Each structure stands twice: as structure tokens, then as C-alpha cells.
Structure 1
Amino acid sequence: MLLRAIDRFFSHEASGGILLGLSAIAALIVANTGLQPLYDWLLNLPFAVTLNGDGLEKPLILWINDGLMAIFFFLIGLELKREILEGKLKNPRDVILPGLAAVGGMAVPAVVFAFFNWGNPETISGWAIPAATDIAFALGVLALVGSRVPAALKVFLLTLAILDDLGAIVIIALFYTADLKTTYLMLALLPLAAMLWMNMKGAHRVAPILLLGLVLWVLVLKSGVHATLAGVITAFLIPLKDKWGKSPLHALEHGLSPYVLFFIVPVFAFANAGVALDSIALSDMLAPLPLGIALGLVIGKQVGVFGMAWLVVKLGFAQLPNAVTWLHIYGLACLAGIGFTMSLFIGSLSFADPAMMDAVRLGVLSGSLVSGLLGYAVLRFSSAPAEDTAAPAVIR
């Protein structure tokens, strides 16, 4: 009975979002009780991997943010490649509406943040924090709404979130790169060339590519470029079809997805969501950094996603998906303001100071919570969809 209940939970669309939320709540509890010193000690515990005195030594929090999140981005890369070659991103006409909505949903929140932080060199670097959407949380809330949500809306949200992830990858590559060390970048071309050759040959075994990807990750990390990009590059070099017609990419994505959804992302949330609330006053919430993040997620996402979708449809470039109304689109725009995982990650790239990161956590948590509740309320009380034949989206 218990095993059956556990199996039903993990097979439910909302399970990833629920587990993510529980991890964030656990982090807040630990950070605000007597366990807080243990929490800080654990996250700052040094961990080293060296060979003959040379290697990597980082606190545990950076192993999570640079290492585990590289696997998270590796899965994103697998999904992007599959969607581009044979999925929702293959037909350009199907991408116009969610694609431009995703662009608006990244640009307007950044503008909202910049409005509150313009001229402040200490905080303006966080402009990209509210531009991200947490797909696990958003689809989890969407699943909780139930039959009132058309299946086409789930596909729309999934496509928007995939393109949002692609935008986040580009932002990280262009704007969150430290001082470059060209020697390591040149060395990184060696495993990259080997992986490219194996991809072109349609390699059946992916273990050699993954080992070369690990080498690439170390070299990219040491070069100053953020190491999560190595995960995306490695994913794009996994063959979609091998020489026997089988799909190493599909098999790897299917096998890796549960570990990312139910382990890596919750661990990241637990490590990054802990903020001490006892010393926080209303004035702290009204400071430019957390206020810019929170309003960027709540207001910026609504205006960006809904406004761009409305403009694209009214100009005749696209039309609303089957059985989807403007109220559904507005509810989806609210859900897009759940930044959480990606917002916290970009925040960790933007600020090293613990006090600044506490402000980031405050803005991300409050903005994501308001967005999630508002999106759920709008979709929950929207009219039931008409007959809907669109295929349901699959949560990653």
C-alpha cells in the first residue's frame, strides 16, 4: 500500500513541484532554527578533488551550484536538442507565439529590475534574476488546477519554458563569464572535437562522450566560463540516432530525468533557499534588490508574457492554441513569474556576498510565491475548457 502510494506520487505531474516546494520549506525551517549553524557549516564544508596537488577545491555549496547544476543543464540541453530536431521547436510556426511570449517574459522583468536598481553598481548585475521561469514549479501548479486547464495550455507553457531556458543559457554565456583563461579554453577544444567526431559517427555507447564531457566541464570551469555551459554542449553532442537507428539521446534523457527532478533540483533548492527571517523587516523587502526581483517576477512576467502574446495575436502573426482563452494566457503569465530554481541560480552567479544573496532569496521566494498563488487562482476559477484534442505535455 505504501509503495503504491509512493509510486503514484512520483508519477504525478505535480510531484516535482511539490518536492521542490518541500525542499525550500525545509531550508527555511533549518535556517530559522537551532540547526542554522549546522546548515551553514555543511554548505561551506570544503571538498577537494586533486591529483598530484592540482585539482579543484570548493565549498559544498559551489559543488552543488557548479557541479550538480551542470547535470541539470545537461538535461536541459538534451531536451532542447530533441525538441529542435523532432519536437515542439521543429516547426517554426508553432514557436512564434510561445517564443515571442518568452522573449517578452525575459525582457520586461529585466526592465522592471533595472528601473529599481539603475545607477547602483552593486545590484544592477542581478538584472537577469527575474527573467527566468521554473518549469517544475509552474507545471506542478498547472497540474494541481486539473481539468480546467486545456492540454494545449500545458504544451504552450512547456514550449515557453524551454525557450526561456535557452534564453537563460545565452544570458549566462554572454554576461556571467569571469576573467577568461584562454589556455584552458584551447585545451577544451580537444574533448570537444572528440565528442563531435563521436556524434557524427552515430556512436551507440554514450559513456565515452560523458567522460569527455566531464573533462570538458573541468576545463571550462578553470577557464572562467561558467561550467554549466559544458553540460549543455555535451548534451548537444549526444547522438539523436546511432548507427543502428536507436536513440542514445532519448534513452539518456529518460533515464536521467527522475534523478534531476527528484534529487538534483530539490538539493539545489535546499542549499540555496535558506534565509534567516528573524532579522528581516519591511524596509528590507522594499530595498531595490529584493523589490526589483519580486516585482520583476510578479509584474514583469505578467506584462511581458501576456502583453507580447496579445500583441502577436492582434497583429495576426499567430492565434491562440485550441480551447485556450485570454484568461488562460493571463494565468499562464502569472505562473511564468515562478522563478525559483533558475532565478536563485542566476542570483548565485550575480552576487558572492551572503547579505546580497539573502536579499536575492527574499525577492525570489516572495515573487515566486505571489506568482504561483495568483496563477493558481486565475486558472482555478477560469471556465472549464471546451473539447480539447491537443496532446498533453510531459513534465521533465
Structure 2
Amino acid sequence: MSSLMSPGRIQSTFRHFLDNEAAGGLVLMIMAALAIIVANSPLSEPYFHALHIYIGPLSLQHWINDALMAAFFLLVGLEIKREMLDGQLSTWSRRVLPGAAAAGGMLFPALFYVAFNWNNPAALRGWAVPTATDIAFALGVLSLLGSRVPASLKIFLAALAIIDDLGAVMVIAVFYTAELNGLALAGAALTLAVLFSLNRMKVGSLVPYLLLGAVLWVLVFASGVHATLAGVLLALTIPLKLTPGTPEASHDVSPLHRLEHRLHKPVAFIIVPIFGFANAGVSLAGVSLSLFSEPLTMGVAVGLLAGKVVGVLGTVALLVKLRLAQLPAKSTWPQMAGTALLCGIGFTMSLFIGLLAFDDPTVQDHVKIGILLGSLASGILGAVLLMLVGRRKPAI
């Protein structure tokens, strides 16, 4: 027993957990559940009060959502750039299936939401809430299923989620931007130009990029564009190509790979869980069953659950039928259906868009409940279906 509890064994187990693909999603699930528990316990008052304490110019919640999450968007931007230039999305043939599926997976959830809220112009502002897929949650569930799911489906889902994140970033930039400050916007553009100049000069040190990235965040924040988009813009300037005079085989010397590697664990195990804890907490006091049938709540939940399946699975079926693409290797249609269900887990990005779409805390709570319902149903149904069909061998 003592050997099992030795410091070395504990450290090895902890390191294995941090390296596990599913671990980030698992931590996020725990923090989201903890937030709901705290929000409905005697600790609810200090929980909500703490989020609204001002630290300098911003409340704690705004520091988390606007500043801390910029690192999350920086990582998203790095992943998008790497996959587009040097990964699974580096050629058009590789982009067709996940790209079209991601587009369908954004369009149909939005249509479902609009159908539920057609007669409420104020609620229509939240049309983009169910369009997002949470890559950490979805890949976490897939990874927990192990060998029941072929590796090709995991690659497909990762590529789809990355393109989906790109779509979400574009939606935030275009539809959820406040009034613009021209002077701050010009300053952000000038800073971005300097960053691209560093890229062109093949500057390999990350220090100047990160320092200018901080300036960029301040200017983007002041400009009226959502500040987290500064993270994506900064990512586009980080060099992917290896610095001159270094072996091409080593990715460790690439500034993009180095920054992505350094950000991955802090984002997965600190930043995103903090965001989940700060934003998933919703008080269920006084909530009646009628809330679950309200158009806004139902639009979000059904958009995530049904909209994603119709959009992703329907688009894949159409492309395969037209012989423009093939199913991922060694996968079956039931497995694709299960994967499409997992795309309905929209937790992190959906919460983020919901907070941008609505200022009213009561409406935000309705959105959160819809996200939780839709994501939970999508995750459970997708996992169960994949477990059931994973026992069967795919047709040869």
C-alpha cells in the first residue's frame, strides 16, 4: 500500500492525468457542476457578490471573461493557424468534410433557435448561442470511449471543432461588437502591423510578440471590438515556420509550437475551468417547469441537440451521397451520428456568446439553462450511442 501512495507514484499519476486528452474536459465538467451547486447553496450570495467586485476598471467576472479568456482565444487562434498551414486542415481535400459539416453545424442550430423565437425580436439576438461546439468537452467524451471510436473520427471532430471555433470568432467580431472607437481601432491596426513585421523578419523570441499582444489587447478593448479577439489576432502573427539555421525536423524551435505547448495546460486546467466556474452558476430558486418550455431556453437546447445533428450529419450524408467526400476511415454511419450528437456540447463558447448577446441576468440564466440542457443531452446520447455501436465491427 505504501508503494502505491509514494510521492513518485502520485506525481507520475498526476502527470499522466494532465497529459490525458480527456482530462481538460473532465475538469471543466467538475467546475461547471460545482458552480451550479454553489449557486444553489448558502454560498450563493458571496459567490455572485464576488463576481461583481471591481478590481480596477473591471469587475472580477469581466477580468475573467475579457482578459483571462484572451489566452483561451490565443490558443484557439494558434491551433487554427497550425492546422490550416501544417496539420489536418492543410489541404483543401482535408478541409471539405469537416469544413462543410462545421458550416451545417452552425447554420441549422441557428435556424432551430430562430424558429423558436421568431416572434421575439429581443431574443433573436441570441441566435448564435447554439452554433458553437466545445472542443474540450466533445473530445473529452470521445477520448473516454477509447478504442470504441476510430481515430479518424477523433481527427474529424477536432478539425470540425477548430473550424467551428473560427466561425464563432467571426460571428463575435461581426455581430457582437459595440460602437467602435476609431482612434483605438487605428492603434490596434498599427500594433498588428508591427506584429506582422516581426513575423516577416522571422523574429523567433516570443517576448516582443507577447508584450505587443498586451498592448493590442488594451487597444482592442478600448476600440469596442470584444477584447478576447486580440488573442486570435495575436495568434495569426506568431511564426509557424522554424527559425533559420535550425533543424527542420524539430518543432520545438517554432515560436507557434512553443507558445501553443506552454499555453495548453494552463488554458485547459486553469483558465477554462475558472471561466466555467464563474459563468455556469445559475440559481434554480423559483425555477418552474415552465421555464424549460420557454422559447429562448428551448431554442438553445433544441438548437444544440437537434440542430447540430441535422446540420453535421445531414451535411456529411449529402457530401457522401454526391461522392464529394467519404466517411472517415473505419467509421460507420451510427458512429458518425454519435459524433454529430457530441457536436451539440456547446458549453464554453456558447456561454461566452450568450453573455455577449444578453445583458439581463435573468435572460442570461435562461440561456445558461438551455446550454446546460442541450449540452448534457447531447453528451449523454452521443456517448451512449457510440458505446453501443462501438462494439460492432465496421463493414469492410
Question: Is residue 360 of structure 2 the alignment partner of residue 360 of structure 1?
Answer: no
Residues in 2 aligned to 1:346 and 1:335: alpha-carbon distance in whole angstroms: 19
Q: Specify every segment of 5 or more residues in structure 2 that has no aligned partner in the other structure, as ranges.
A: 1-8, 247-252
Aligned position for 1:53: none
DSSP 3-state at the match of 1:225: coil
Measure how far apart 1:94 and its partner are. Answer: 1.1
Which aligned pairs between 1:82-121 and structure 2 lie closer than 5 A? Answer: 82-121=82-121
Aligned position for 2:20: 12
Measure how far apart 1:8 and its partner are. Answer: 2.4
Aligned position for 2:283: 276
Opposite residue 14 of structure 2, the aligned amino acid is I
Aligned position for 2:3: none
Aligned position for 1:391: none
Aligned position for 2:63: 63
Confirm or deny: 8 A CA contact 2:335 2:390 kept in the other structure.
no
Opposite residue 154 of structure 2, the aligned amino acid is K
Give aligned pairs, total. Answer: 380
Question: Is residue 127 of structure 2 the alignment partner of residue 127 of structure 1?
Answer: yes
Measure how far apart 1:191 and its partner are. Answer: 1.3
Residues in 2 aligned to 1:340 and 1:201: alpha-carbon distance in whole angstroms: 39
Aligned position for 1:191: 191
Confirm or deny: 8 A CA contact 1:17 1:136 kept in the other structure.
yes
Aligned position for 1:315: 322
Measure how far apart 1:75 and its partner are. Answer: 0.4
Residues in 2 aligned to 1:267 and 1:143: alpha-carbon distance in whole angstroms: 22
Residues in 2 aligned to 1:321 and 1:186: alpha-carbon distance in whole angstroms: 45
Question: Is residue 333 of structure 2 the alignment partner of residue 332 of structure 1?
Answer: no
Residues in 1 aligned to 2:186 and 2:113: alpha-carbon distance in whole angstroms: 36
Measure how far apart 1:303 and its partner are. Answer: 0.5
Which aligned pairs between 1:31-180 and structure 2 lie closer than 5 A? Answer: 31-48=39-56, 57-180=57-180
Confirm or deny: 8 A CA contact 2:67 2:228 kept in the other structure.
yes
Residues in 2 aligned to 1:279 and 1:37: alpha-carbon distance in whole angstroms: 16
Query: Higher mean Cα deviation, 245-254 or 294-303?
Result: 245-254
Measure how far apart 1:155 and its partner are. Answer: 0.4
Measure how far apart 1:386 and its partner are. Answer: 5.3
Aligned position for 2:236: 236
**1:285 pairs with one of 280, 283, 292:** 292
Residues in 1 aligned to 2:71 and 2:238: alpha-carbon distance in whole angstroms: 14
Question: Is residue 313 of structure 2 the alignment partner of residue 306 of structure 1?
Answer: yes
| Alignment deviations for residues 337-386 of structure 1 (CA, whole Å, 9 cap, x no partner) | 00000000000110111101100110000110000000000000114475
For normalisation by structure 1, the TM-score amounts to: 0.94
Aligned position for 2:249: none
Which aligned pairs between 1:179-218 and structure 2 lie closer than 5 A? Answer: 179-218=179-218
**1:22 pairs with one of 27, 30, 53:** 30
Residues in 2 aligned to 1:277 and 1:65: alpha-carbon distance in whole angstroms: 23
Quickly say closer, same or farther: Cα 1:281–1:244, change in 2 above 3 A: farther
Residues in 2 aligned to 1:320 and 1:387: alpha-carbon distance in whole angstroms: 12
Identity %: 52
Measure how far apart 1:147 and its partner are. Answer: 1.0
DSSP 3-state at the match of 1:381: helix
Confirm or deny: 8 A CA contact 1:201 1:243 kept in the other structure.
no
Confirm or deny: 8 A CA contact 1:324 1:385 kept in the other structure.
no
| Alignment deviations for residues 110-141 of structure 1 (CA, whole Å, 9 cap, x no partner) | 00000011131221100000000001100111
Opposite residue 243 of structure 1, the aligned amino acid is P
Aligned position for 1:54: none
Measure how far apart 1:190 and its partner are. Answer: 2.2
For normalisation by structure 2, the TM-score amounts to: 0.94
- Let me know the Cα RMSD of the aligned residues: 1.3
Confirm or deny: 8 A CA contact 1:149 1:384 kept in the other structure.
no
Opposite residue 94 of structure 1, the aligned amino acid is R
Measure how far apart 1:387 and its partner are. Answer: 9.0
